[in-house]
Amino acid sequence: MGFEEYNPKPTLVVSENPKERAKYTFIDVHSHQFQMATQNLTGLITDMDKMNMGVMVNLSGGSGQGLRAMLKNVNDNYPNRFVIFANVDFNGVGNSNWGEQAAAQLELDVKTGAKGLKIYKSLGLRNKDINGNRIAIDDPRLNPIWEKCAELAIPVLIHAADPKSFWDPMDKNNERWLELKTRPRRKRSNSDPAPWQQIIDEQHRMFKNIQILNLSMHTWAGMPIIWIS
């Protein structure tokens, strides 16, 4: 039997006191509801009410027509229970005026009703420009986006890289050995796509580059939340 098959049943018996409802109404600031444009929101609201969730923030609003459809469904049914963030499509980075066009689309999305911008970890890991090169988080071609966020004074949530253990040697000292053993595609290296520290440094340089825009940063569950104004 290999270690990854080891799954003992505990013999310790203790009393349980599960909490299924929060004492105070709370806001879930990290949700991904990709089907919100067409889904029946009543079931979601029922689940939220059971746990005393007052507002859900959907970070996967997309952009353009898809975002508008989400906002219409929410506003027509439960206008005070959901907040939707927009996303940027990084396809086409390297084309002339890509940054200005992306910033213009973001401005339109915010005018439509998006309350902020969510940047997925694919930026820095998987997104590539028109020449097939990895797009760094602090790539200057993205500056029009950050400048537009400052102009609009909207919050930006950004998730950079994966856990550092995905880059570390897969040995007895790696705390995610079992995860990497069972999901080998998650393993990273200094060339796949870049060193972990390099990606983190790119994020931090991006923060520094926009400090002149009165940036304040908070961290929630390891995800930086940036207010740019």
85-133 pLDDT tens trace: 999 999 999 999 999 999 999 999 999 999 999 999 999 999 999 999 9
The mean pLDDT value of the chain amounts to 90
Reply yes or no on whether the pLDDT at 51 is more than 90.
Answer: yes
SS3 219: strand
**Cβ atoms of residues 32 and 70 within 8 Å:** no
Given pLDDT bands bounded at 50, 70 and 90, which one contains residue 219? very low
pLDDT at res. 212: 36
pTM tops 0.75, yes or no: yes
Query: Is it the case that residue 185 has pLDDT exceeding 60?
Result: yes
Band of residue 45 on the pLDDT scale cut at 50, 70, 90: very high
DSSP state letter for 148: H
Task: Categorize the per-residue pLDDT at 5 as very low, low, confident or very high, splitting at 50, 70 and 90.
Answer: confident
Instruction: Determine which helix (DSSP H) or strand (DSSP E) holds 220, and give its type and residue range.
Output: strand 215-220
For residue 152, the surrounding DSSP H or E stretch is: helix 143-152
> Given this model, what pLDDT does residue 66 score?
97
- Separation between Cα atoms, residue 187 and residue 179, nearest integer Å: 9
Q: Per-residue pLDDT averaged across 35-51, rounded?
A: 97
Look at residue 6 in the predicted model and tell me its pLDDT.
Answer: 82
